[in-house]
Amino acid sequence: MKAAIIEGPGQSPVYGDFSEPTAQPGEELITVTAAALTRFTKARASGAHYSSDRVYPAVVGSDGVGRTQDGRRVYFVLPEAPFGAFAQRTRVSARRCLPLPAAVDDITAAAIANPGMSSWAALAERAHLKPGETVLVNGATGTAGRLAIQIAKHLGAGKVIATGRDETAFEELKAMGADVVIPFDSGALAAGNAKEYENALQAQFAAGVDVVLDYLWGKSAETAIIAAAKAGQEAVPIRFIHVGGASGDDVHLPGAALRSSALALMGSGANSIPFQRLLAAIDSVFQAAIPAKLQIKTKAVPLSDVAKAWDDESGKARVVFVVD
């Protein structure tokens, strides 16, 4: 069968022939139709992610959409190594498959599952968002951040504050439900010029923020935490949920920022939430996609072009490989 194959950690995939999978008891043999390119997939392929199987050679791709042998249309996640989603066929535990609503097409389902899960799980499982609360999305101009705005509103957030680097996207964020948009300059933050951004955040925290969804970490998250502490909300808890590290893996955090605030700092992802709850979050996103009118930009690419599309970092649309 045709597939996107990597020979070792850190390598880019090539389109070629790979052995056919054979389903074992308790597994589904899936004929794949669509699979999205995500940071999660790339991190697992490189061996850097803690959930990586580190088996090579292997087919890349962590999740996708396809048909079972008996014709059911399903979303699947974490195929059995060395098989992956970027292939004509793959094998997956039946427990890691979800039926798809008829109204959600294959490309949308493949694209929306991972980024939609990231915010749904963070808000519902970690933050336990209550109706009317205020949510700040740190890093809202990317695919996941845009969905986070929409999902926060769908789950009852009374106010959504969005931060981002791409000011050309701000009107779109407002159309998606952002009530306040705060720009920042990554270069300025890296150079230690964070005062303007910190002041803008501090004003929002002083007015009241209940939940922060952080997709960036690094200097922007560090600035947000310090701004929350300086806002001086005595004993008012802020649930700060770290979801992604697009701006780096580390922060320099003064201990006083935690001692002088009621900040609850936590992460959201695999192992911090039971796997079946993450799968339930994905199912919730699928069920909400049509009634909540969730929007996600997609770019359909033939699987044979995987080598060219692998390093697409534009962030403007989610690349979805179409398998035939």
Beta bridge partners of 65: 34, 75
- CATH of region 113-267: 3.40.50.720
- At 240 the pLDDT is 95
Residues of the chain with CATH 3.90.180.10: 2-103+296-322
Q: Determine what percent of the chain is predicted with pLDDT higher than 70.
A: 96
Give the whole-angstrom CA distance, residue 52 versus residue 314. 25
Q: Which of 281, 258, 252, 256 is nearest to 268 (CA)?
A: 281
Q: With 60 as the cut, is the pLDDT of residue 235 above it? A: no
Mean pLDDT within 92-96: 97
Which stretch of 36-45, 141-150, 175-184, 308-317 has the lowest confidence by average pLDDT? Answer: 308-317
Chain segment 260-271, per-residue pLDDT in tens: 888 899 999 888
pLDDT category at 166 given cuts 50, 70, 90 is confident
Chain segment 17-36, per-residue pLDDT in tens: 999 999 999 999 999 999 99
Mean pLDDT within 53-78: 94
Q: With 70 as the cut, is the pLDDT of residue 192 above it? A: yes
Q: With 80 as the cut, is the pLDDT of residue 72 above it? A: yes
Mean pLDDT within 280-299: 96
- At 53 the pLDDT is 72
Architecture of domain 2-103+296-322: Alpha-Beta Complex (3.90)
Q: With 80 as the cut, is the pLDDT of residue 212 above it? A: yes
- At 234 the pLDDT is 61
Spatial neighbors of 272 by CB under 8 A, at least 6 apart, are 126, 266
- 146 touches 118 (CB < 8 A): no
Q: Which two tokens stand for residue 318?
A: 């989610």
- At 85 the pLDDT is 97
On average, the pLDDT of the chain sits at 92
Beta bridge partners of 147: none
Residues of the chain with CATH 3.40.50.720: 113-267
Give the whole-angstrom CA distance, residue 74 versus residue 63. 11
DSSP 8-state code for residue 139? S
**Single pTM value for the model:** 0.92
- At 152 the pLDDT is 98
With 0-12 / 13-18 / 19 or more C-beta atoms within 10 angstroms meaning exposed / middle / buried, residue 173 is buried
- At 286 the pLDDT is 98
Q: With 70 as the cut, is the pLDDT of residue 2 above it? A: yes
